[in-house]
Amino acid sequence: MMNNNNTLEYKGYLAKIEIDSDTNTLYGSITNTRDVITFSAQTVAEVRQAFQDSVEDYLAWAAEDGFIPDKPYSGKIILRMSPALHQQISARATMDGFSLNQWITNTLQQRVLSDHP
């Protein structure tokens, strides 16, 4: 599915789609993996199919060559911060009625959404 931010999602992989107005080509790259996976096409339907084909080709290549494909992010991160900030965030989360994890997730989500209407 393509949303208003010109992104596609397939099997957990996300791709950003851009337009080359000089060649009237849509092109994209997968954004949530360290491996470089790109594709292009002339229409929205074709770029969607090219994206899905690229993901399938990548997964097949990994299986054939015996390596583990770089998977979309797991949703787990480790944060390092000062003990004072940790204490302040924890207190704020408690005051707002959230776990520390949920408060951080909500705060980051609000920030991301405010940057991309």
Cα Rg, the chain, nearest whole Å: 19
Q: Residue 25 and residue 33: Cα distance in Å, rounded? A: 23
CA torsion angle 79 80 81 83 (round to 10): 110
Residue 106: what pLDDT? 92
Nearest in space to 8 (alpha carbons), one of 36, 60, 45: 45
pLDDT at position 71? 79
Q: What is the pLDDT of residue 70?
A: 84
CB neighbours (10 Å) of residue 8? 22
Tokens matching residue 76? 């787990």
The rounded Cα 46 to chain-centroid distance in angstroms is 21
Amino acid in position 94: T
Please report the pLDDT score of residue 1 as a whole number.
46
Q: pTM score > 0.75 for this model?
A: no
pLDDT profile of the chain (117 residues), mean per 10: 73 93 93 91 95 96 90 80 94 93 92 74
